Structure formats: C-alpha cells, structure tokens
Amino acid sequence: MKYVACLGIPLLLQALLTLIFGQAASGGSFAGLGAMLLAVVGIPLTLIVNFALIRSYPAQSIAAHFNRSFLLGLILPGLQLALLLAVSIGRW
C-alpha cells in the first residue's frame, strides 16, 4: 500500500497536470510541447527518486513518505507552469 500511495498518486497528479498544461498552451505554441518534453524526463525521474527514498527509509510511516513524495511530485508541475507563464509573458 505504501508504494501505491506514494508512487501512484504523484504519478497521476503529474500526468493530469501535464495534460492540462499541454492543452492550455494551444494555438500552435511550443509551450505545450515543452511541457510534454519536461514530463518525459520528469515523471520517470520522480518515480525513481521516490522509490529510492521509500526503500532507503523503510521504518517511516506511510504519511511521512506520502508527504515527501507529494512535495517532490509538485516540482514538475511547477516547472511546467513556470514555462507556460514565461511564454505567455513573452507574448505580451
């Protein structure tokens, strides 16, 4: 259950937000492509890091692992949002 909660929920969050950010940058912009390319690298990297952290600290509770995994899972959407904001400000 620890692996499902701590790896699956951040994965679903990242995939859903990548889809939303990709659709938000419509109109032929390369920002959606950039968000997708960030996800190609970021999602597996996040899964590997979270898996390694869970394996290295097995005595911690599920809540502690989930909090850390969730916060690490927010890094990729933050980068994607920053990319979309930079592109939208650049168009002004």
Query: What pLDDT score does 24 carry?
Result: 81
How many Å apart are CA 25 and CA 57, to the nearest integer?
Answer: 39
pLDDT tens for each residue of the chain, 92 residues long: 888 999 999 999 999 999 988 888 666 678 888 889 999 999 999 999 999 999 999 899 999 999 999 999 999 999 999 988 888 887 77
Alpha helices in the chain (DSSP H): 2-3, 9-24, 31-56, 62-73, 75-91
State residue 27's pLDDT score. 61
Model pLDDT, residue 65: 94
**Which residues lie closer than 8 Å to 60 by C-beta, 6 or more apart?**
none
17 by DSSP, 3-state: which? Answer: helix
3-state DSSP call for residue 74? coil
> What pTM did the predictor assign?
0.86
